[in-house]
Structure 1
Amino acid sequence: MSEYHLDIFMHIPKTGGMTLNEIFKKQYKLSEIYDHDSFQKKMMNMDELTEVEKRNIKAITGHYFYGIHQEFSRPFNYFTMLRDPVDRVISSYYFLRDYPGYEMVKDMTLEEFVVKGPEAPNLQTLMVCGSQEIPDIEIAKENLKTFSVVGVTELFNETLFCLKKEYAWGDIHYTRKNITKNRLAKDEVPSDLINLIKKYNALDIELYDLAKQLLNDKLQSLTEDEQNQLKKFNLEQSL
């Protein structure tokens, strides 16, 4: 990608983004990346950045909704990672119960969280469409189609390989970060509750299906040599 483009990682909570974020940050100098409302390891709102600092920034990463590029007057590329909506909601519930600032979740059952919890119903659609209140699936789909790479958590290595190819990244080997422990697995959750999650995340399920299709299109276009490189990478990460 051109050095004049702004590379934006739209980090959707509980999609494996912490692991991906660590890899992403390794590709830039500290002065070139604005990371989760901080710059050069200091908490700083975007409007506090000087024009010189803004011009030097090559990458943005964080829990930002689509539209963050409007803070910069230059071409941009988005990439993101989506996750099976049922698994994402379950993981989010168990993670937020112990997370500072989300004390309300501690007193919620999983069922209550599904219906009215923060970051629960259709969050992925909400973020990708760029709305702070109402998820619009059609806008989300159109936005997602413009992303340079759309990954899915369940195909993390494949996503990472496509990102390396797209952005000419260096080392992409990793150790998993921010894994939610002490949570129910998807197959341990009662079927009626699974159905409730699907009901309240119907738009996210539709968007996730598109994400899988977009990633599959990228994988289908890999050359034979690239496919062999991907197999080697998968093997190395499994050791």
Structure 2
Amino acid sequence: MAFGNITKGLAPFFANERFTEELCIFIHVPKTAGSSLSAELARMRRPYRNIHRQYFYGETVTFTRIEDEIAAVIDDGTIAAARSCSGHFTWDMAAPIRTARPDARAFTFLRDPIQRVISDYRYSRTPSHPTYAQTIARFPTIEHYIEAPETQNKMARFLMPNDVVTSDQINAFIGSNYAFVGLLENYALSFNILSRLLGTNLLPSEHKRATEDTEDNHVDVTPDLHAAIAKYNQRDVALYEIARANLATVAGEWSALMAAEPPPAARG
């Protein structure tokens, strides 16, 4: 698994890193367009399994542990038969999946850290989020939200061990442990490169779960807010910039490839 090899060019990257039969694990960081991507993955790579916590509504909202849900799909044989899976689980939580399926390849998508935090905050305050009432009570403003340790560096905490901190460590970890890292802000390029790694040649078609506007989730996006989010999410900023720089090295080559080998949807 070598996302870092993309900097050598798309031709050798596709030749050496394509994975058409292995289990494809999508580690879905919240608010990175992952719901849309999960739907695409289910279409491209069947059998597919979305691994998620179960919610139960009573006087309070309770839910199962994602670790238990992962154990269940391993024990019932689902993972043994799957060609892809996804979920809001971390790299460390996915270790049992990698053990059960040594052929597994992991990928993920990132989003500009400032926009991802704002989107995460706004979504957490809508009725679509099971514990939105508690979130509103606990974090009355976005400033309270971004100052809480559990909201900080969420992309990095999902994708890497906690001791991977410096830019060099981050670059080495994602470069060697992930088959691919895409960006929401460069979604067409990222999705098409991923699809080619999976043995197809497609552009994205799905778009799901845009956050609704409510009276509880308006945010005034100011330069001070940008600076504060960046301050509290330095690992995420470093992670995003590394992935962005890697993809930038092949942007021109990808454009030429699209002209020479356009996906079926793009053909005239």
TM-score range, shorter chain: 0.7 to 0.9
1:2-21 matched pairs, under 5 angstroms:
2=19, 5-21=22-38
Any unmatched runs of 5+ in structure 1?
A: none
8 Å Cα contact 1:126-1:136 kept in structure 2:
no
| Secondary structure in structure 2 of the residue aligned to 1:197 | helix
Q: TM-score, normalised by structure 1?
A: 0.80
TM-fit CA distance, 1:235: 10
Name the residue aligned to 1:37.
Answer: 52
Name the residue aligned to 1:189.
Answer: 221
User: Does 2:147 align with 1:115?
Assistant: yes
Name the residue aligned to 2:71.
Answer: 47
TM-fit CA distance, 1:190: 2.3
State the distance in 2 between where 1:206 and 1:231 align. Answer: 32
8 Å Cα contact 1:27-1:170 kept in structure 2:
no
Q: How many residues align?
A: 225
State the distance in 2 between where 1:93 and 1:45 align. Answer: 26
TM-fit CA distance, 1:96: 0.3
TM-fit CA distance, 1:36: 2.4
Any unmatched runs of 5+ in structure 2?
A: 1-17, 54-63
| Matching residue's letter, 1:17 | G
User: Does 2:193 align with 1:162?
Assistant: yes
State the distance in 2 between where 1:219 and 1:69 align. Answer: 32
Name the residue aligned to 2:82.
Answer: 57
| Secondary structure in structure 1 of the residue aligned to 2:236 | helix
Q: TM-score, normalised by structure 2?
A: 0.72
| Matching residue's letter, 1:198 | A
Instruction: List per-residue Cα deviations over 1:31-53 (Å, max 9, x = no partner).
Output: x3221238xxxx98222244643
Name the residue aligned to 2:39.
Answer: 22
8 Å Cα contact 1:129-1:139 kept in structure 2:
no
State the distance in 2 between where 1:223 and 1:193 align. Answer: 35
- Further displaced range: 95-104 or 204-213: 95-104
Identity %: 20
User: Does 2:237 align with 1:205?
Assistant: yes
Name the residue aligned to 1:136.
Answer: 165
| Matching residue's letter, 1:208 | Y
8 Å Cα contact 1:81-1:152 kept in structure 2:
yes
Higher RCO (C-alpha 8 Å, min separation 6): 2
Instruction: List per-residue Cα deviations over 1:66-115 (Å, max 9, x = no partner).
Output: 13144324122111111111110111111001211243321320100111
| Matching residue's letter, 1:166 | L
| Secondary structure in structure 2 of the residue aligned to 1:215 | helix
Name the residue aligned to 1:87.
Answer: 115
